[in-house]
Chain A
Amino acid sequence: MLGQVLARGGRLPCVDCARAIATSSADMVNRAAKYRSTRDRSQLLTYDMAMRPHHIGVKKAWLTWHSQNLEEFRQQQPVTLTQDEIVRRFIRGFFPQHVVVHGNEVVIKRRGNVLFVSGFLQYSKRLDHRRIYWMFGFVEEFLSLVLKQPVKLELAFVETEDDVAYNYI
């Protein structure tokens, strides 16, 4: 932009105004939620990651399901957002050995007054069933007590993260 101004023989703006000018080249490509490919095709993509943002609602669904974005239903949008963040952080922090793709694909669904947490976990080194059941019980109760509504986990297990891979780029 600066080049264009100078080329037209225009005057440079004052110092204060210069702050508002971006001198880097304008790049209109939308890069959000699109993954860079690697030379050795080692970047794992799940189905959700492989689909583009404009495919939401077409080829893939949302990671959180609630009615707060609908007209006349926006009583507690911020609360819903906060709840989502609490759930995601807690799941990531409580199952660090088991989450796949860094716990980014935990789906939160609301049916009635119940909040369901869906997604995949991996076996990790050794799958201790009793430990997993204890953790599930703890998480369900802990999140229920925090959010003041019943929380249920619907997490399924895969052997390794590779099992959720849709593509490698």
Chain B
Amino acid sequence: MLRLRHCLPGPSAIRVLSSAVASGSDKAGAETSEGGSSQQGGRLPRVTIQPAIKRNPTDLLQALSDTVGVDPTAPHFAFIDDPAMIPSTAAAKRHYYMAKELGKRAARQLAEEWPTLFMFDRDYPRLSAFRPEQQPDPLQVDPTEENLLKMVEQREVKDAVMLYERMRSENKDVSDSAQLALFKLVAYYNGENVPFAEWEEWHGLRNYGESKYNEWTNAGIADLLYETLPKTAETTSILVAGMCKFASAESVQRAENLIKEMLEKNQVPHVEAFNGLIAKGDHGQWTWALAQMKNVKVKPNIGTWNALLSANTKLQSNSERKSHLAKLLNEMIALGVEPSLTSYNIVLEGIIDTREQVAGGTHGGMTREEQDQLEDALSWMVEIVSRLESLPQLTIQSPECNHFFLTAMVYASRASNLPLAERLVALYESEKNLVKMPAFTVENQFYTRYLRLYIERTHSINDIEEKYKELVPRLVGVTKTLTREMCEKVRNAPKWSCIRRVIEDGINSRAMTDHKQSSIFRKILLDVSFLNLSISEREEYKNLVKKLVGAWVELSRFTEENTKRLQIKMFPATVSECALMLHRIGESDRAYEMLETLLDEEAKYGETATITDQGTPNYQSINEMFQDALRESNASRAAICLEILALNTSRNKLEPLAAQIIERYEFISSKNIKSFCIL
């Protein structure tokens, strides 16, 4: 303000300033009061600075993020932000992500093995996160309870069991609390190591690692520990829950018997034990379990409801299944239990019975029964999505919650219902949704379904192009099916920018090594009217053609013994079409060089062959080049074209061409036409 006092010319200007400040005081967080006395007394406006607004540590970052927004064309943060390094396909994403993660694991391993080499200890306070420690070997470590508990805490199941067995063999005492902790761990994981899906630090293995389903190990370490521990409601419930988690027919039966034993002893089983039996038991078992829950007054939780919903999906009758699911959902809502996304997912999966092979008439690849089920599922989905949209927040209740979005998208896609799919995407991307699908796997499938549906239901090529560029390759990996569908669209409504992008994505996803797909690429490029393109587009067209032809030629030239497996021989049609493309972009010399290979026997037969002896060259392509050669009065080129056609087409197609040559040059007598045609 002091500076302003000197700068402004006089009281009138100050009055203007003060009124401006006063009018904007709410926004600026400052108040002014002049009192109209500046004119008489020359007083300056009084400015009161408001106290600073208290903000969270992440508010600034949030504001920046909101301002900048998400760049959908940028690669995932895990990948190198360089066009040559951004993966296009789901497989490439998997390989690169895993490669990077394994590199990190290798470095971590070095630091664990040789920590003294990493002692650049300038951090204060010391950060243990950057000092990884090697896992203690259960056969080397001191057999103490402390070490055992440490292993239990770190969820090293097999190591903990090994150490426990060692302690028992060496007659070391293990307290009940330590045994209970070990028992909980062992029962929860069935004596196996933690599955990949529960790995916290290494995301790649968590998402891509596959853990086999294993059944409960009878007379395993969990059973042995249970025998040594007091048979309380807690321990028995843990054992029951474990048996139902790794269910087999035998283990479920044992679980039921254990619950019965508990009830006989007047012990109250925990809700998890009942939940397990309801989810994995048959109709009789879960109805019995529900009745017992009521008797012993065990309050159900969301897990109980989900278990009940799962149990109902096993019912054979479709109508019975639907009515049960509806009743259950209504009851949940009536009791004030908000169904989780897992509940809705179970409901949706339960409506369409994939096990049943329903006989009947088909319509659009689906049986009538399947169509009815799909219609039911859609009407349910509309209700569910409307309810979810009205909720203030979607929170994660269990690890399976994210599956709802994919299941719903699969049904919307099967029913070709684009508006519903768009509602799902909007719901998933909304700020209130805290449930996220794992990137590259489930999320990739979700968006791939959505994009394919969008392409199918949208007519405007501009809209399709915009959506395609928004989702590919960041969220959707390029696939052969997607490329084929996009090619169909651009063939019907050619647009150069879209054609270029689709073909370049095809190159990146190695679609050009597929004969059928590469043939489609060539047809699209040959359909493009080169003269109608702008100057910059012509350059792009030329570069793209050169790149494609160069790649096909290179792939055909892997004739050495060690590279033979990589070879993809060209078909005569490929050669002729490539030659025509080169000819159109002004690379006529190279085009005719390629054409001449069709006349070369060595190129077709023998160890160094680059062209297959199957199929014939494309007549239209050669004919166009032939006509151009005639227009240019280039007899040798016309002769090459005619010779190729003579070897591959019928006589009645050749005669008019030969007549054209004669008409043009008038040097062959009519007597020689026959011999020329025979050639």
Binding site for B on A (CB under 8 A): 76, 79, 82, 86, 123, 127, 129-142, 144-149, 153-157
Q: Pick the residue among A127, A131, A138 that contacts B106 (CB under 8 A).
A: A138
A141-B103 contact in complex given A130-B95, A133-B96, C-beta closer than 8 Å: yes
Query: Do B130 and A136 have beta carbons less than 8 Å apart?
Result: no
Q: Is B296 an interface residue (CB 8 A)?
A: no
Q: Pick the residue among B84, B96, B100, B130 that contacts A148 (CB under 8 A).
A: B130
Task: List residues of chain A with CB within 8 A of the CB of B132.
Answer: 145
Q: Pick the residue among A130, A138, A144, A145 that contacts B96 (CB under 8 A).
A: A130
* 17 extra A-B contacts, CB within 8 A, seeds A133-B80, A137-B101: A129-B87, A129-B92, A131-B99, A133-B85, A133-B95, A134-B99, A136-B100, A137-B103, A138-B103, A139-B103, A145-B111, A146-B118, A148-B122, A155-B80, A156-B81, A156-B82, A157-B80
Q: Is B8 an interface residue (CB 8 A)?
A: no
User: Dominant SS at the A interface?
Assistant: helix
Query: Do A79 and B122 have beta carbons less than 8 Å apart?
Result: yes
Q: Give complex CA distance A60, B291 in Å.
A: 78
Task: List residues of chain A with CB within 8 A of the CB of B84.
Answer: 123, 127, 157
Query: Do A141 and B104 have beta carbons less than 8 Å apart?
Result: yes
Q: Quick one: CB contact mask for B105-126 with A, threshold 8 Å, 1 for yes?
A: 1111011000000101111000
A134-B118 contact in complex given A129-B96, A145-B108, A148-B123, C-beta closer than 8 Å: no
Task: List residues of chain A with CB within 8 A of the CB of B80.
Answer: 132-133, 136, 153, 155-157
Q: Is B535 an interface residue (CB 8 A)?
A: no
A157-B101 contact in complex given A142-B110, A145-B111, A147-B120, C-beta closer than 8 Å: no
Q: Is B391 an interface residue (CB 8 A)?
A: no
Q: Pick the residue among A86, A123, A137, A148 that contacts B99 (CB under 8 A).
A: A137
User: Dominant SS at the B interface?
Assistant: helix
Query: Do A86 and B120 have beta carbons less than 8 Å apart?
Result: yes
Residue pairs across A and B with Cβ atoms less than 8 A apart, 30 shown, are A76-B122, A82-B120, A86-B120, A123-B84, A129-B85, A129-B95, A130-B99, A131-B99, A133-B95, A133-B100, A133-B103, A134-B102, A134-B103, A134-B106, A137-B103, A138-B104, A139-B103, A140-B103, A140-B104, A141-B104, A142-B107, A145-B111, A146-B118, A146-B120, A147-B120, A148-B127, A148-B130, A149-B130, A157-B82, A157-B84
A144-B130 contact in complex given A130-B95, A130-B96, A133-B80, C-beta closer than 8 Å: yes
Q: Give complex CA distance A153, B104 in Å.
A: 13
Task: List residues of chain A with CB within 8 A of the CB of B120.
Answer: 82, 86, 146-148
A137-B104 contact in complex given A132-B80, A147-B120, A148-B123, C-beta closer than 8 Å: yes
Task: List residues of chain B with CB within 8 A of the CB of A145.
Answer: 107-108, 111, 118, 130-132
Q: Give complex CA distance A148, B124 in Å.
A: 10
Question: Which partner residue on chain B sits nearest A150 by CB separation?
Answer: B130
- The smallest beta-carbon distance between A121 and chain B, in angstroms, is 9
Q: Pick the residue among B82, B92, B100, B110 that contacts A137 (CB under 8 A).
A: B100
Q: Give complex CA distance A86, B127 in Å.
A: 20
- The smallest beta-carbon distance between A145 and chain B, in angstroms, is 5
Q: Give complex CA distance A136, B78 in Å.
A: 11
Question: Which partner residue on chain A sits nearest B122 by CB separation?
Answer: A79
Task: List residues of chain A with CB within 8 A of the CB of B130.
Answer: 144-145, 148-149
Q: Give complex CA distance A140, B111 in Å.
A: 13
Task: List residues of chain B with CB within 8 A of the CB of A146.
Answer: 118, 120
Task: List residues of chain A with CB within 8 A of the CB of B95.
Answer: 129-130, 133
Question: Which partner residue on chain B sits nearest A155 by CB separation?
Answer: B80
Task: List residues of chain B with CB within 8 A of the CB of A86.
Answer: 120
Q: Give complex CA distance A84, B100 in Å.
A: 23
Q: Quick one: CB contact mask for B379-414 with A, threshold 8 Å, 1 for yes?
A: 000000000000000000000000000000000000
Q: Give complex CA distance A82, B121 in Å.
A: 12
Query: Do B100 and A134 have beta carbons less than 8 Å apart?
Result: yes
Q: Give complex CA distance A155, B131 in Å.
A: 26
- The smallest beta-carbon distance between A110 and chain B, in angstroms, is 14
Query: Do A149 and B123 have beta carbons less than 8 Å apart?
Result: yes
Q: Give complex CA distance A148, B84 in Å.
A: 31
Q: Give complex CA distance A120, B87 in Å.
A: 19
Q: Which 3 A-B pairs have the closest CB atoms?
A: A137-B103, A137-B100, A141-B107
Residues of B529-549 at the interface with A, using a CB-CB cut-off of 8 Å, are none
- The smallest beta-carbon distance between B193 and chain A, in angstroms, is 23
- The smallest beta-carbon distance between B573 and chain A, in angstroms, is 31
Task: List residues of chain B with CB within 8 A of the CB of A153.
Answer: 80
Interface centre among B87, B92, B99 (most CB of A within 10 A): B99
Question: Which partner residue on chain B sits nearest A140 by CB separation?
Answer: B104
- The smallest beta-carbon distance between A85 and chain B, in angstroms, is 11
Task: List residues of chain B with CB within 8 A of the CB of A149.
Answer: 123, 130
- The smallest beta-carbon distance between B91 and chain A, in angstroms, is 11
- The smallest beta-carbon distance between B569 and chain A, in angstroms, is 23
- The smallest beta-carbon distance between B549 and chain A, in angstroms, is 20
- The smallest beta-carbon distance between B671 and chain A, in angstroms, is 60
Task: List residues of chain A with CB within 8 A of the CB of B82.
Answer: 155-157
Interface centre among A130, A148, A156 (most CB of B within 10 A): A148
